[in-house]
Structure 1
Amino acid sequence: MPDHAHHPDRTWPTRPSSGAEPVLLDRREGPYGEVVLRRRGEQHEIIANGCFLMDTSDGRSERLLVRAALAELNSPAEPSGPRRPGRRERPHVLIGGLGVGFSLAEAAAEPHWGRITVVERDPAILDWHRTGPLAAVSRDALADDRTALVREDLVAHLRHISGTECQYDAMCLDIDNGPDWTVTDDNAGLYSPEGLAACLRALTPGGVLALWSARPSSAFEGSLRNAGFCRVRTDQIPVARGVPDVVHLAVRPA
């Protein structure tokens, strides 16, 4: 798993500015490379292969990922029409990528969700939430009876459930830094035509796909439409420095 030093043509997100020096809490070499947990002042940071991924300083965009998916799921198929046919009263949501836990916490705080399935492939991140410093964010959500953790690569998980009765009403995916700048090369498979086709199959008719990205990507909107999604749009979330975070939204046709 190469780090950002192997991709000099890419512009990578940088960590938030802070006067505090980072304190190393844990470093592990796992199946997908090195992953590090640091504390900087009152915040925690996850670093993957030398590249800053996320921290606990804000969380607005990670929470919006879940809120926007539910709002889209509840919206009518047409602006003046009834809600989408077949939508369950207690929809099943997939959280793809546990990260620092904000998306899971947002889902668990919302009583309208039925089942909450979290797919995370890195054992270190799971440990940090179960018994480590990130439990402060996710403790209540992990204790929620609706929550189930699945340790598996997301693309592999989507392949495994293909053709089964397991489908999600919404999928909220925060994998790497988005479609155009993955820290881990094999994460790019999620954003490929094959990966998006697997996402489409994993959704119920009328189901919503929400994907977090560190930067907007108009080309990715085209990829979603080419994969068969409709109602494609991009919501932007301003950040303290640099370009906005975004949430790409798309719907499987009913």
Structure 2
Amino acid sequence: MSTALPERDGFAAVVTLDRREGPGGEVVLRQRGRHYEIIVNGCFLMDTVDGRSERLLVGAALDELDRTGPSARPSVLIGGLGVGFSLAHAVAEPRWGRIAVVERESAIIAWHRGGPLAGFSAGALDDERVEVVHADLLEYLAGSDGVRYDALCLDIDNGPDWTVTDANAGLYGPDGLAVLRHRLAPGGVLAVWSAQPSPAFEEALRAAGFSDVVTHEIAVARGVPDVVHLGRV
């Protein structure tokens, strides 16, 4: 049953549409006016208000691949389905070949398959290039199938310094970055979304052997800009 909360701070009332238990704790889908919010383990993850930085995550990775010569149908893995902006943007670009999206929360996948978020992923889950992988991202990347990608685009936390669960912190440290490097094809690009700039993560990328490390900033209405960190192997 939906639970309406009082209006506050000039925003529309919040309605809880669904809540389920997942590997990271409780996963909640809320509606605020015409927009939706995902809360994981009590931590705000993302909403549908403005998807510019999520689209930049994928677009900047492709631009970086093109910088040293256009790739023929490059492959991309998107870490985190979220509200669907990154996946929809990838599917709208015909130059991408194989597209994998890894999401550990079955609730989020269900909300896109005919649920309230289906309009934001715009049918992308049914594109013939797309594989939806229900798994923990780090466990999937550390697996033994040996598949490599031309681009890894990660948006599973609020950034390297603000993870949804403590376990995710390992993804941004030396061991996690070594796994990411191993899953990138030669010349491949890693792109990581963050709700705030992280100079420490830039240094961690360089220390892990990534080159051409750069940070793109996206202005937001309030507070520090969203960013996308990029690095090449």
TM-score band, normalised by the shorter chain?
Answer: over 0.9
Is 1:130–1:139's contact at 8 Å kept on the other side of the alignment? no
When structure 1 is superposed on structure 2, of 135-144 and 211-220 the one drifting more is 135-144
Partner residue, 1:185: 166
Partner residue, 1:7: none
- Hey, what's the Cα distance between the residues in 1 that align with 2:49 and 2:167? 28
Relative to structure 1, the CA distance from residue 18 to residue 28 in structure 2 (aligned partners, 3 Å threshold; closer, same or farther) is: farther
Encode CA deviations 1:161-218: one digit per residue, 9 max, x unaligned: 46x2x10000110011111111211111111111000000100000000000011011
Structure 2 residue 200 is matched with structure 1 residue 208:
no
Encode CA deviations 1:108-142: one digit per residue, 9 max, x unaligned: 00000001000001111111111210011114211
- Hey, what's the Cα distance between the residues in 1 that align with 2:82 and 2:210? 26
Partner residue, 1:153: 136
Partner residue, 1:195: 176
- Hey, what's the Cα distance between the residues in 1 that align with 2:144 and 2:113? 26
- Hey, what's the Cα distance between the residues in 1 that align with 2:229 and 2:127? 27
User: Which secondary structure state, in structure 2, belongs to the residue aligned with residue 246 of structure 1?
Assistant: strand
- Hey, what's the Cα distance between the residues in 2 that align with 1:192 and 1:70? 24
Q: Kindly, what percent of the aligned residue pairs are identical? A: 65
Which residue among 27, 31, 45 is the counterpart of 2:19?
27
Is 1:51–1:183's contact at 8 Å kept on the other side of the alignment? yes
Which has the larger strand fraction? 2
- The one-letter amino acid of 1:241's match is R
1:1-254 equivalences under 5 Å are 19-76=11-68, 83=69, 88-161=71-144, 164=146, 166-252=147-233
- The one-letter amino acid of 1:121's match is R
- Hey, what's the Cα distance between the residues in 2 that align with 1:98 and 1:197? 23
Moved over 2 A (4+): none
User: Which secondary structure state, in structure 2, belongs to the residue aligned with residue 160 of structure 1?
Assistant: coil
Relative to structure 1, the CA distance from residue 220 to residue 88 in structure 2 (aligned partners, 3 Å threshold; closer, same or farther) is: same
- Hey, what's the Cα distance between the residues in 2 that align with 1:57 and 1:88? 32
- Hey, what's the Cα distance between the residues in 2 that align with 1:178 and 1:251? 19
Matched length: 225
Is 2:65–2:71's contact at 8 Å kept on the other side of the alignment? no
Q: TM-score, normalised by structure 1?
A: 0.86
- The one-letter amino acid of 2:214's match is R
Gaps of 5+ in 1: 1-16, 77-82
- The one-letter amino acid of 1:37's match is L
Is 2:160–2:172's contact at 8 Å kept on the other side of the alignment? yes
- The one-letter amino acid of 1:135's match is A
Partner residue, 1:12: none
Q: Considering only aligned residues, what root-mean-square deviation do their CA atoms show, in Å?
A: 1.2
Gaps of 5+ in 2: 1-8
When structure 1 is superposed on structure 2, of 17-26 and 222-231 the one drifting more is 17-26
Q: TM-score, normalised by structure 2?
A: 0.94
Partner residue, 2:3: none
